[in-house]
Structure 1
Amino acid sequence: MASGYGVGGGVGRCYPYWQEYMACYVMTKEDKVLREQGTCLPRLEDYYECLHHKKEYARAAAMQLALRKAEKAHPRENAPKLGQIRSLGLLGHEDDSKEMLQK
């Protein structure tokens, strides 16, 4: 929170970023050239990222998309075939399983 107090009563998690931005803002307040160059914008972006995590969420979504794309391009090479699954006794041998469980 901009007040500096967090939910639990201590210092808020983003308050140090806010202080950094305000210090930069005060230092460049009189210098129009530095203000036009956007000297304090990276600090303001850090503060907004701390509050909203938009870049972090976008990065996570991009990683998930890339993972799905890679899985679709390269399906599992070692996936078991239907005959291999049946040979394990899981399909088509229900009677044998029932006999084994009754013993």
Structure 2
Amino acid sequence: MSERLPCQTPGCSATILPTTALKTGGICMPCHQKKLALEKETYILQNRKDVDRYAGIIDPVEILKIMHTPRKYNLLENDLPYHKSAQELYHQLTEAERKRK
């Protein structure tokens, strides 16, 4: 059986196989996964941008259409909410706007 090596992360008492040490740079897999998760989180925080889907749109019907359109989740985009709720917009619609699709 191979001799196990200590994890190189300060404060970690785990031991790892030499093959794992070669793959991860001398740290145990839990520490390696924590490091990767932290790097991913840091990247997301540095590159996330706010997206205002309602910028420049004043037509309440169009705003409601945008509100009800499903969007695919993107970690790097922060969707800004509209300043009114859909319920408030529905209450403000005129008869002509209610008939529009």
Is the TM-score greater than 0.5? Answer: no
- Tell me which of the two structures has the higher relative contact order, counting C-alpha pairs closer than 8 angstroms and 6 or more residues apart: 2
Q: 1 or 2, which has the higher strand percentage? A: 2
Q: TM-score, normalised by structure 1?
A: 0.33
Q: TM-score, normalised by structure 2?
A: 0.34
